[in-house]
Amino acid sequence: MSLNGKKILIGISGSIAAYKIPVLVRLLVKEGAEVRVVMTDAAKDFVSELTLSTLSKAPVLSKLFDEGAWSNHVMLGRWADLFLLAPLSCNTLSKMAAGACDNLLLATYLSATCPVAVAPAMDEDMWHHPATRANLERLRAYGVQVLPVGHGELASGLIGEGRMAEPEALVAWAARFLEKRGELAGKKALVTAGPTYEALDPVRFIGNHSSGKMGYALAGELARRGAEVHLVSGPVSLPAEPGVHLVKAPTARMMYEACMELADYDIAVMAAAVADYTPVDVSAQKIKKGDGELTLTLRKTDDILAALGARKKNGQLLVGFALETENEAEHARQKLARKGADLLVLNSLNDAGAGFAVDTNKVTLFYRDGHSRDLPLRPKTEVARDIVDAITELF
């Protein structure tokens, strides 16, 4: 892995971990990267502009209204192959999540067209606070790569989570990340996500608890690796990442029709929780509550995964999802064979932290040759990277 010729923009916020950034800049330059630095005023309390400019061989920018800086905040985000904010303080994190723009670093972030990654650094209690978790999840939804923190001695003297990743680890991550960029260029990907809502009347529907987070994370990861991504989404309120073509399909029938129109894919990932049954009759008026029982007649919906499997051509890769509550592995293998998929991703509701309406997932990958691979519990954005790694290997 090499960073030779890569353009790395470093953003430094006010954290004690900023003292490590001269080492990071030196290592990046040693690996052949061209480095630029932008920093907040608070960061200057921890690291010298002179040190950073000497090591990067370029001026350090910090003032939004200094001569040249106003246009540079746009140009830097277009110049860079990667914008790495390290360290990311709790304060700057909250501003990024809210879309604030009161300094040069934030203005550069909001105008950046390159990939953005953050390396948080804060005390353990701040790291575990619900507001911090919510802000990080919002950044992930925007497509920002959130790098894991380390465990060890903190500035407060406590021992725990919250340490910024070490410079050597950041350099290795950047090399791996940029190496994967573009590896799926020229490929067309179809992804489904979210639930479907099957109407009973103008007010009520049959649905499920799917949040769509897994499918949206997969669509974003495929797009970051260069694929042309078409995301067919059920009724969720998540934002699609830049570059992802979003198609709204709230019902099983609409999702089926959208997928059939996009059946010329190279990669299809069926992550949506599509209803298996839909009402035969839909009332034009709200159904009134009566004295007796209400009986619904349901019919099967069209099976999108099976339909794509039946018409799959050479060179197409089809990935299915299964959510099981019993005999998980057996049912997953049967579904993989029955639906004509190349890879099946199994969720089990018996695994804590996996399934619907949570930000983490724990899955098992089942392959057509009979072998399987367990992935650990981790954020859905990281699970998406693992799944796309598996897809790339199969290609």
Residues 154 and 198 in one domain: no
Residue from 72, 208, 314, 347 carrying the catalytic annotation: 208
In a domain, 2, yes or no: no
Predicted confidence (pLDDT) per residue in 244-275, tens digit: 999 999 999 999 999 999 999 999 999 999 99
1 belongs to a structural domain: no
| Contact yes or no for 111/137 (Cβ under 8 A) | no
Told to judge if 72 belongs to the known catalytic residues of this protein, a careful annotator would answer no
Whether residue 204 sits in one domain with residue 141 = no
- Which of these three, 180, 215, 238, is where a domain ends? 180
Domains identified in the chain, total number: 2
89 and 51 in a common domain: yes
% of the chain beyond a pLDDT of 70:
96
Domain boundary residue among 180, 211, 232? 180
- Mark whether 154 and 208 lie in a shared domain: no
Say if 25 falls within a structural domain.
Answer: yes
180, 196, 222 - which closes a domain: 180
Based on the fold, state whether residues 300 and 151 are members of the same structural domain: no
Co-location of 167 and 44 in the same domain:
yes
What separation, in Å, do the N-terminal and C-terminal C-alpha atoms of the chain show?
21
User: pLDDT digit string (tens) for 40-78?
Assistant: 999 999 999 999 999 999 999 988 766 555 566 678 888
321 marked among binding-site residues: yes
Residue 145 covered by a domain: yes
Q: What CATH number is given to the structural domain containing 390?
A: 3.40.50.10300
pLDDT for position 327? 85
Three-state SS string over the chain comes to: CCCCCCEEEEEECCCHHHHHHHHHHHHHHHCCCEEEEEECCHHHHCCCHHHHHHHHCCCCECCCCCCCHHHHHHHHHHHCCEEEEEEECHHHHHHHHHCCCCCHHHHHHHHCCCCEEEEECCCHHHHHCHHHHHHHHHHHHCCCEECCCEEEECCCCCEEEEECCCHHHHHHHHHHHHHHCCCCCCCEEEEEECECCEECCCCCEECCCCCCHHHHHHHHHHHHCCCEEEEEECCCCCCCCCCEEEEECCCHHHHHHHHHHCCCCCEEEECCECCCEEECCCCCCCCCCCCCCCCCCEEECCCHHHHHHHCCCCCCEEEEEEEECCCHHHHHHHHHHHHCCCEEEEEECCCCCCCCCCCEECEEEEECCCCEEECCCEEHHHHHHHHHHHHHHHC
Which domain, by its residues, includes 61? Answer: 7-180
Q: Phi and psi dihedrals of 346, rounded to 5?
A: -100, 125
Domain CATH number, residue 152: 3.40.50.1950
* Mean pLDDT to the nearest integer, 365-392: 92
Is the peptide bond prior to 22 cis by the omega test (within 30 degrees of 0)? no
The answer to whether 276 is annotated as binding is yes
User: 44 labelled as ligand-binding?
Assistant: no
Q: Please, are residues 139 and 378 in contact by the beta-carbon 8 Å criterion? A: no
Report pLDDT for 241. 80
Flag whether 83 is marked binding.
Answer: no
Lowest-confidence region among 54-68, 204-218, 266-280, 345-359:
345-359
Do 59 and 113 belong together in one domain?
yes
> Does residue 132 lie in a domain region?
yes
Dihedral sign (CA 336, 342, 217, 14):
positive
Count of CB atoms within 10 A of residue 286's CB?
A: 11
**pLDDT winner (highest mean) among 52-56, 145-149, 223-227:** 52-56
Which residue has better confidence, 323 or 168? 168
Is there a binding annotation on residue 248? no
